[in-house]
Structure 1
Amino acid sequence: MEPTTPQEACFEAGIKFGTLYHQFAGTPVSPDSADSLERAMEEAIENQPFCESVTVDILEEVLAAELAERSADYAELTGRFVEVEMVVAYEGCTVRTSMAMDGDYPRMSVDELREG
């Protein structure tokens, strides 16, 4: 059975989320570098085929609270510091996706799928 176009569009979104998360997890980040890291993540993923847009929000207040408990001036990037929205357009299908924490897990979700 061949995958449907909407299934392929969702697959493309999954590839981009896997790349985004696993490429940048562990990157040193501080409140001072959060903006530039957000832009770097967005631009890297937007280079991929079918990616319409990516918005990365490093949760600086969560990061600052973490750093208040540490002696270092930075932390390693993990899902608890990041929220992401992404739009993928593939052969007439548009997939809106997001990533946010669900308990202690960074959940990547398909929020909307439009055909045509």
Structure 2
Amino acid sequence: MEPTTRDAACFEAGIKFGALYHQFAGTPVSPDSADSLERAIEESIENQPFCESVEVDILTEKLADEIDHGYTELTGKYLEVEIIIDHEDTEVVTRMEMEDGYPLMKIESVREK
């Protein structure tokens, strides 16, 4: 069976999340640098094909509560992300947020335009 447009759009969303998480996990971050890092992540991932939008929120209050020496490393526990893919008139909305101590990436919705 050939993959459907819907399958391809969901696959593209997964690729974007894999790139985002594994490219930026471990980046030094502080509450002062969070805004610029959010923009850098968004702009980097938005360069990829079929990426309609990326919204990254680094949870600065949580980050500040856990910093001992000026900064820490970026991990999933400090991130909430939404990525929207537009592939051949199929829109996929995906999110990443902590669930049961794990940065879970999931499909929120898929719709034909």
TM range (shorter): over 0.9
Return structure 1 stretches of 4+ with deviation > 4 angstroms: none
Query: Which residue matches 2:57?
Result: 57
Tell me which residue corresponds to 2:88: 91
Aligned residues: 113
Amino acid at match of 1:33: S
Cα distance between partner residues in 2 of 1:110 and 1:49: 18
Normalization by structure 2: what TM-score?
0.98
SS in 2 for 1:12: helix
- Code of the residue aligned with 2:58 in structure 1: it is I
Identity %: 65
1:74-94 Cα deviation digits (max 9, x unpaired): 000000000001100001100
Is the partner of 1:13 in helix, strand or coil?
helix
How big is the shift at 1:2?
A: 1.0
C-alpha distance after superposition, 1:37-68 (max 9, x if no partner): 0000000000000000000000000001101x
Q: Which one of the candidate residues 103, 106, 110 is aligned to 1:109?
A: 106
Please state how far the C-alpha of 1:15 moved relative to its aligned partner.
Answer: 0.1
**TM-score in terms of structure 1 length:** 0.96
Structure 2 match to 1:23: 23
User: 1:43 is matched with which residue?
Assistant: 43
Question: Can you list the C-alpha shifts for 1:16-35, whole angstroms capped at 9, x where unaligned?
Answer: 00000000000000000000
- Measured in 2, the distance between the counterparts of 1:86 and 1:31 equals 23
Distance 2:62 2:19 in 1: 23
SS in 1 for 2:62: helix
Instruction: Establish whether residue 80 from structure 1 lines up as the match of residue 77 from structure 2.
Output: yes
Can you give the 5+ residue segments of structure 2 that lack an aligned partner in the other structure? none
Q: Secondary structure at the match of 1:63?
A: helix
Gaps of 5+ in 1: none
